[in-house]
Amino acid sequence: MKRNNIKKCRNLRKNQTDAEKKLWAILRSRQVGETKFRRQFSIGRYILDFYSPEYRLGIEADGGGHYEDIGRQRDKLRTRELSKLGVEILRFSDLEILNNIEGVWEVIWETIESKRSNSPS
C-alpha cells in the first residue's frame, strides 16, 4: 500500500510539540504492552500523531485548536472516517499529557489489553 504525505510526516516528526515528545517517550520501544507504535503515520488523507498497526489504534495529542468549534468538527469527521477504516482513535489534550502522563499511559494500556482480549487467537 502506497503511503501519502511522506514529506509532511517527516517534517512533523522533526518538529514535535512538547506533549508529543513526552508521549513518544512512553510509546517508543514497545513500552506499553510490548506494542509497536509509529510516529506521524499517514492513513488515507490523515496523519496520525501515533499509530499501532497491530491494534489499528491511533493516538492524538490535541492542542488548543482542537477545542475550538471548527477543530472539534474536523476531529469528529476525522475520527468517523478513520473508524470506517477500522482505526480507533484515543485523544488526549496536551495538558493531560504534560500533567498526567501516568494516567494517559494507563488508558492506552487498558485499551490495548481490551483489544488483545477481544481478538481471536
- For residue 41 the three cell numbers come to 503515520
Q: Which pLDDT belongs to residue 81?
A: 94
| Per-residue pLDDT tens over the stretch 42-84 | 998 899 999 999 999 999 998 865 556 777 788 899 999 999 9
Q: 18-113 adopts what CATH topology?
A: Endonuclease; Chain A (3.40.960)
3-state secondary structure of 48: strand
The pTM of this model reads 0.82
Structural domain boundaries of the chain? 18-113
Number of C-alpha atoms within 13 angstroms, CB side, residue 105?
Answer: 17
